Amino acid sequence: MAFYSITYDLVRNRDYEKIARGIKNISNDAWAKPTASQWIIHSEKTSEQVRDFLLNYIDHDDILFVIKVDVDNWHSYNVQKGATDWLKN
């Protein structure tokens, strides 16, 4: 299992609920949202598989970025406690 950071820019049709549903689905509800535009998920999928799955939840003009992260090496400032607690555990 790996942790991935997912960020996106929704350009015209800004269906944030749809992309959120996709992220929750691909992560089996193992996620944190440290900022308004970033999600961290825990998944058995590869970054390519996560990206390909989420393409079903965005439009052709949107931007999507998925990268594997090292959750043992991070620092934050003013991030909600729920997100940082999830990352620590």
* Domain-located, residue 22: yes
* Domain-located, residue 86: no
* Secondary element (H or E) of residue 66: strand 63-69
pLDDT in tens, 23-38: 999 999 999 999 988 9
CATH number of 63's domain:
3.30.70.240
* Domain-located, residue 11: yes
* Domain-located, residue 49: yes
Q: How far is CA 87 from CA 35, 38, 74, in A?
A: 13, 13, 9
How far is C-alpha 58 from the chain's CA centre?
13
Domain that holds residue 24: 2-72
What's the number of domains the chain is made of?
1
Helix axes 47-54, 16-26, angle to 10 degrees: 140
- pLDDT tens, N- to C-terminus, the chain (89 residues): 999 999 999 999 899 999 999 999 999 999 999 998 899 999 999 999 999 999 999 999 999 999 999 988 899 999 999 999 998 88
* Domain-located, residue 56: yes
Rg over alpha carbons for the chain, rounded to the nearest Å, is 13
